[in-house]
Amino acid sequence: MFEYADLRDNPVLPGTNKQGDPNTDQKYNTKLPEMHDVLQKLRTVADESGAVLIGETWTSNIAELKAYYGPHGNDELQMPMDFMFTTVDKLSPPEFRSQIAAVDSSGGWPVYVISNHDKVRSFNRYGDGKNNDAIAKLMGAFYLTLRGTPVMYYGEELGMENNDPKRKEDVKDPIGRTGWPQEIGRDGERTPMQWNTDPNAGFSQKEPWLPVPPSYTTHNVVTESKDSNSVLSIYKKVLALRHTNQALLEGSYTALNEDDVNVMSYLRSYKGKAVLVALNMSASPQKATFNLADKGFASASLKSLVATPQSTAKGTEVTLEPFGIFIAEVAK
């Protein structure tokens, strides 16, 4: 929105981008201070209307993200998206914990994103090629139970996958046409919504702008709605719980067992009630024992709310199947 009035050139950096152009430090035409003046004016108008401002805010560090909330407290965007979360492109509890702690330190309401129209779908990024559906369920249970607001990209709830073009002549995205083959473009993550098993996944009777992947025959709304163990069914269960459970809606976030490199676990607490989330981010069975005495639950037990079939609890010990999910109410 703003650049230096004299239109000075950005400093040139070593190397070239996927388009073959020199890399540059965009210090003179992006993220200039005037941007925040505009956002504060927009916020004033939004507040008068009872509206909420959501930002597609690509930031490289927490300081930049914090700035979008506003320098005087909460006077710019109420909900700047944390795209740094998507930079953790593997199932790594330590790295996810670090990202969550950093975002919580920003002082604003977190907004988590795992995919969007510019990034390869989470199904592909986190999947291992064998357990992609289980991992898709795991990631859904993860970002839907964190403190904050999750932004869901269409098809995540189905396990939609990328359908990348194989030939330059099939590319629609301009950056793919000019950058092929180093840059294949973003067509793969922008394919039509998969509704059913009809041609073109029921999206259109005519040929759509982009082709659907062959997996639409199994990963679609109608088919998955009939399967109680589908990706869609897990999303529905977790979302239903999120909409009714005060600890998940408004509770604090506390990381648990922070030395565990396989199981991502945390406590969501609200007015004496709590929900424990344990997620096995490994391909092997795992056990995790939780000491919740210092969290106000001296003699706690865990009551399952949403869990994958072979994930159970005995007392405060949780047994998780590979990529297993266990979400439980903490009972005193």
Q: Is the pLDDT of residue 73 over 80?
A: no
Average pLDDT estimate for 161-166 = 98
pLDDT above 90: percentage of residues in the chain: 93
Confidence band for 1, pLDDT divided at 50, 70 and 90: confident
Sign of CA dihedral 177, 178, 183, 185: negative
User: Is CATH 2.60.40.1180 the right assignment for the domain spanning 247-331?
Assistant: yes
Please tell me the predicted confidence (pLDDT) of residue 299: 82
Please tell me the predicted confidence (pLDDT) of residue 38: 96
Confidence band for 191, pLDDT divided at 50, 70 and 90: very high
**CA–CA distance, 310 with 304 (Å, rounded to integer):** 12
**CA–CA distance, 59 with 230 (Å, rounded to integer):** 34
Q: Which residue, 303, 286, 304, is CA-closest to 93?
A: 286
The domain at 12-237 falls in which architecture?
Alpha-Beta Barrel (3.20)
- What rounded mean pLDDT belongs to the chain? 96
**CA–CA distance, 139 with 158 (Å, rounded to integer):** 12
Q: Which residue, 282, 325, 265, 278, is CA-closest to 131?
A: 282
- The predicted-structure confidence for 254-294, as pLDDT tens digits, reads as follows 999 999 999 999 999 999 999 999 999 999 999 999 999 98
Average pLDDT estimate for 156-162 = 98
Sheet with 312-314, edge to edge strand ranges:
286-289, 317-320, 312-314
Beta bridge partners of 254: 267
Ranges for all domains in the chain classified under CATH 3.20.20.80:
12-237
Query: What token pair was written down for 22?
Result: 């020199």
Please tell me the predicted confidence (pLDDT) of residue 108: 92
The more confident residue out of 82 and 331 is 82
- Which amino acid does the sequence have at 9? D
Q: Is the pLDDT of residue 67 over 80?
A: yes
- The predicted-structure confidence for 192-246, as pLDDT tens digits, reads as follows 999 999 999 999 999 999 999 999 999 999 999 999 999 999 999 999 999 999 9
Please tell me the predicted confidence (pLDDT) of residue 107: 86
**CA–CA distance, 29 with 11 (Å, rounded to integer):** 11
Ranges for all domains in the chain classified under CATH 2.60.40.1180:
247-331
Average pLDDT estimate for 122-145 = 98
Q: Is the pLDDT of residue 300 over 90?
A: no
Residue for token digits 């922070």? 258
Task: Give the helix, strand, coil percentages of the chain, each rounded to 5.
Answer: 30, 20, 50
* H helix and E strand count, the chain: 9, 14
Confidence band for 71, pLDDT divided at 50, 70 and 90: confident
CA angle 95, 317, 287 (to 5 degrees): 50
- Of the CA atoms within 13 Å of residue 99, those in its CB half-sphere come to 26
